């Protein structure tokens, strides 16, 4: 398996741990959100505002599938990547999927101060945010749970050794 896809809700640590592990194991790292912003020359907030979510999801799928030629890398998905356009199936056919699983309370605490960067949760109070996360997580878990590995975020620390990373160093 030469690509690892990190999947999970906003705030689950996909980018944070993906970057750390890629560095530690000497492999490439790609972040779907960053690639979308770079190819579109616009922030994700602006893309949602100007073109809407449907357009964003099309670009997201195109950016994801563009990674098919990459090898030996860790890919941090956006929180919704797994849930649209059969992306979950595509990722399972093209790499190893790892779901960073967290509770709604944990996720709320992680995104509450960064909500303005995330169009789906931009205007919520703290209670509304928790309610939204609980609801969305229920909708999304059937997709996330199709991951080959389910990794609870509370077991991950700097010392944690992800045994599923079996990539060739650069």
List interacting residues with ligand S3P (CB under 6 A): 10, 15, 33, 44, 78-80, 118-120
Return the number of the residue (18 or 95) whose C-beta is nearest ligand S3P: 18
> Cβ closer to ligand S3P: 11 or 95?
11
Nearer to ligand S3P, 33 or 95 (CB): 33
Which residue lies nearer to ligand S3P by CB, 119 or 163? 119
CB of 169 to ligand S3P, least distance (A): 26
> Minimal distance in Å, beta carbon 86 to ligand S3P?
16
Q: Name the token pair of 118.
A: 């995330």
Closest separation in Å from C-beta 33 to ligand S3P: 5
Q: Report the residue number, 44 or 129, with the smaller CB distance to ligand S3P.
A: 44
User: Least Å distance between CB 168 and ligand S3P?
Assistant: 26
- Minimum CB distance to ligand S3P, residue 43 (Å): 10
DSSP secondary structure string, the chain? Answer: --EEEEE-STTSSHHHHHHHHHHHHT-EEEEHHHHHHHHHTS-HHHHHHHHHHHHHHHHHHHHHHGGGG--SEEEEPPTTGGGSTTHHHHHHHHSEEEEEE--HHHHHHHHGGGGGG-GGGTT--HHHHHHHHHHHHHHHHHHHTTSSEEEEGGG--TT---TT------
């Amino acid at each position: 398996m030469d690509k690892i896809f990190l999947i999970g809700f906003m705030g689950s640590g996909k980018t944070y741990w993906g970057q750390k592990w890629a560095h530690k194991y000497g492999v490439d790292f790609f972040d779907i959100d960053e690639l979308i912003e770079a190819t579109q020359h616009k922030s994700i907030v602006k893309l949602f505002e100007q073109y809407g979510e449907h357009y964003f999801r099309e670009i997201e799928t195109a950016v994801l599938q563009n990674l098919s030629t990459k090898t030996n890398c860790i890919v941090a998905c956006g929180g919704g990547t797994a849930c649209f356009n059969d992306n979950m199936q595509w990722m399972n056919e093209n790499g190893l999927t790892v779901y960073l699983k967290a509770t709604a309370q944990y996720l709320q605490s992680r995104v509450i101060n960064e909500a303005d960067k995330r169009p789906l949760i931009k205007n919520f109070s703290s209670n509304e945010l928790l309610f939204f996360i609980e609801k969305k997580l229920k909708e999304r878990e059937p997709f996330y749970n199709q991951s080959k590995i389910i990794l609870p975020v509370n077991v991950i620390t700097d010392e944690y050794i992800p045994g599923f990373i079996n990539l060739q160093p650069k």
